[in-house]
Amino acid sequence: MNKPASYNTLVKDIGELLKQAGAKAAYSVNTILVNTYWHIGRHIVEFEQQGSSKATYGTELLDNLSKDLTLAYGKGFSRSNLIYIRKFYLAFPKSETLSHQLSWSHYVEILKTENDLEISFYTRQCEKEHWSVREMKHPMKKNWLTN
């Protein structure tokens, strides 16, 4: 059966709508994930500090949280991910400063640096240049900021 050209256009148009919907859904899910991790980080830091300006070290909080959250909610709560979630909140203490253009994977890579200036620089560059995580890793590996 020969299909008219208008049918091919219909298939193409529907395909574009599906791509757009998928991109919007991914963006929404990412925004929710980043915001949720920021709030989890805030809860962890506030619990650790319990009103004092510094956390009490030596507690097994992240180990216990990892076990209990994984048991209750499934994967995604490894100790290392909780460390990044906590560090995420500490690096971006105001939720208004979060970029919803960046994925959680972007933030994890950015947070591997200990330097606040680098964190700020790479966050802004990713927003400005629309870098994928892979594109961002190259200048970070080459230490653009410090060279």
The pLDDT value given to residue 59: 64
Tokens encoding 99 = 């970029």
Angle ∠(60,65,69) on CA atoms, nearest 5:
165
Helices and strands, counts by H and E, the chain: 6, 0
The pLDDT tens digits along the chain (147 residues) read 677 889 999 999 999 999 999 999 998 999 999 999 999 999 999 998 876 656 665 568 899 999 999 999 999 999 999 999 999 999 999 988 888 889 999 999 999 988 889 999 999 999 999 999 999 988 888 775 555
Q: What is the pTM of this model?
A: 0.82
Domain ranges of the chain: 5-141
- Nearest by Cα to 108 from 94, 90, 77, 87: 87
Cα–Cα distance for residue pair 88/70, rounded to 1 Å: 20
CB-based contacts of 115, cutoff 8 Å, min separation 6? 145
